[in-house]
Homo-oligomer: A and B are copies of this chain.
Amino acid sequence: MASSSGRRLNINNINPHVRAAKYAVRGELAVKSEEYRASLQTGSSDLPFTQVISANIGNPQQLDQKPLTFFRQVLSILENPALLEKGDVLVNDLGYKPDVLERAERLLKQVGSVGAYSASNGVPAIRQSIADFLERRDGFPANQADIYLSAGASSGVNTLLHIICADEKSGILVPIPQYPLYTASLSVLNATCVPYLLDESKNWGTDLGTIKAAYEKAKAEGTDVRAIVIINPGNPTGASLSEEDIRAVIEFARQERLVILADEVYQTNVFIGEFISFKRMLRQMQKEKPGVYDNVELASLHSVSKGMVGECGHRGGYFELVNFDPAVQAEIYKFVSIMLCAPVIGQCLVELMVNPPKPGEPSYELYKKEYDAIFYGLKERATALHKAFEQMEGVECGTPQGSMYLFPTIKLPPKAAEAAAAEGRTPDEFYCMRLLEATGICVVPGSGFGQKQGTLHFRTTFLAPGTEWVGSMVKFHKEFMDKYR
């Protein structure tokens, strides 16, 4: 009895669409940075830096950001409801305010055990709380039946793309640069990504002429373009869209019958102006011209991972469907049922996010203080980083507007491009790899998000504490430019 030859699965016969997918945020650079981190922890490294700065991923609590106290106190009770029997100890000895206990008690009543599956689309009372939040935010009604809890926004995007894409001809307009979840998911689904460039000269806003041209080109090639993705505030760009841009996209979606996928997970990370939701603008336009926009389908996504909440590890999020066909919603319900439900403690965190302590409530003061400190801390670091970029030769970057990222252009000397080619890398990859090796700072090359032909960028978060690392980036850049000049 001899062994049949070889394993069944190898790189050449597994799902080619998975193989084709690219996801640079956790790619080679990220893996290498983790190796460096492990090496530094052993204490025996001879690396030219003493710590790794993970500026490659929007993971606030891995860095400086502390969880909001009210949220975590409530969650601690949800995990151990027996604590409620010792309410006096919680209040007198552990500093829990009465509204923490009340909220936990209410959620437990609504949820049952956080260890039980919820309804496939989420706990009904949590969906209602989200609907209430959306009404307050937008000034238009929201229906809990149109809300679907998800394991972070990524899982929501996965669901929506699964429903929308019928075959390989199905096309989705995706902004470039983009968060690579979109292109990776479309690869796996074997559907068509229809890229449209954002306008760097307008602080990475949407340009309708560019979108139309991309749409027409794809249509001429036989692509059945079905939806348009908008990431607002932008990832990786940090852009924050104007009302005018949003209206233009909605009008275009109406004309061409495109579903709008509005990735709005950075809605509280806005430094200039205010966040305007697609839902609010769509309802506003429906009100202004009754009947005209009633068939414009919008799915809007949000998450506990970003903003001042920053609870990525809890995998909480939701999406709201607007103007969708009920029969299509029933298929979405069935699809999410196959994975049973979103993590229930994450669902509870969504509830806390959309319904935080109000002025006058016992936990409000601390909540507000913590929230503001995070907000202004992010803004301050964004500004410091932006100032550093202004000093760096060949680096250009618009004023920080929102999200957690800056996405500067870098102009590198021809010699650097040659050295990169010799290593089989793109120049931006080459630059980011040298940066990591020299300073321990991990950023993501622009090619991981897509960028206009002939341009180079990188994405950095501004989450890492301190400013020392910004200084070492400036120093590295000067040496790099001098070396390859």
| Chain B residues within an 8 Å CB radius of A78 | 79
A21, B338: Cβ atoms under 8 Å?
yes
Judged by a CB distance under 8 angstroms, whether A395 is at the interface is no
Question: What 1/0 flags go to A1-19 for Cβ under 8 Å of B?
Answer: 1111111111101111011
Q: How far is the CA of A21 from the CA of B480 in the complex (A)?
A: 55
| Chain B residues within an 8 Å CB radius of A297 | 7-9
A312, B115: Cβ atoms under 8 Å?
yes
Contacts A15-B162, A18-B162, A166-B13 hold; do A343 and B340 have CB atoms under 8 A apart? no
A315, B343: Cβ atoms under 8 Å?
yes
| Chain B residues within an 8 Å CB radius of A408 | none
- Name the CB-closest residue of B to A34: B119
Judged by a CB distance under 8 angstroms, whether A173 is at the interface is no
B9, A164: Cβ atoms under 8 Å?
yes
Judged by a CB distance under 8 angstroms, whether A50 is at the interface is no
B114, A314: Cβ atoms under 8 Å?
yes
A151-176 contacts to B, CB under 8 A, are 151-152, 154-155, 158, 162-166
- Name the CB-closest residue of B to A8: B257
| Chain B residues within an 8 Å CB radius of A220 | none
Judged by a CB distance under 8 angstroms, whether A434 is at the interface is no
B166, A62: Cβ atoms under 8 Å?
no
B62, A116: Cβ atoms under 8 Å?
yes
Judged by a CB distance under 8 angstroms, whether A83 is at the interface is yes
Within 8 Å by CB of A9, from B16, B259, B337, lies: B259
Segment touching B, from A128-136, A288-296, A448-456: A288-296
Judged by a CB distance under 8 angstroms, whether A335 is at the interface is yes
| Chain B residues within an 8 Å CB radius of A4 | 254-257, 295
B80, A181: Cβ atoms under 8 Å?
no
| Chain B residues within an 8 Å CB radius of A117 | 57, 59, 62, 312-313
Within 8 Å by CB of A10, from B82, B114, B327, lies: B327
Question: What 1/0 flags go to A102-117 for Cβ under 8 Å of B?
Answer: 0000000000111111
Q: How far is the CA of A227 from the CA of B184 in the complex (A)?
A: 25
Q: How far is the CA of A169 from the CA of B4 in the complex (A)?
A: 22
| 14 A-B residue pairs with CB within 8 Å | A2-B292, A5-B295, A8-B227, A9-B164, A18-B162, A69-B82, A75-B79, A152-B339, A152-B340, A158-B338, A162-B188, A181-B338, A313-B341, A314-B345
Closest A-B pairs by Cβ, 3 of them: A313-B344, A76-B80, A61-B113
A: residues with CB less than 8 A from B are 1-11, 13-16, 18-19, 21, 23, 25-26, 34, 57, 59-62, 67, 69, 72-73, 75-80, 82-83, 86, 89, 93-94, 112-120, 151-152, 154-155, 158, 162-166, 181, 184-185, 188, 226-227, 254-259, 289, 291-295, 297, 310-315, 323-325, 327-328, 331, 334-335, 337-346
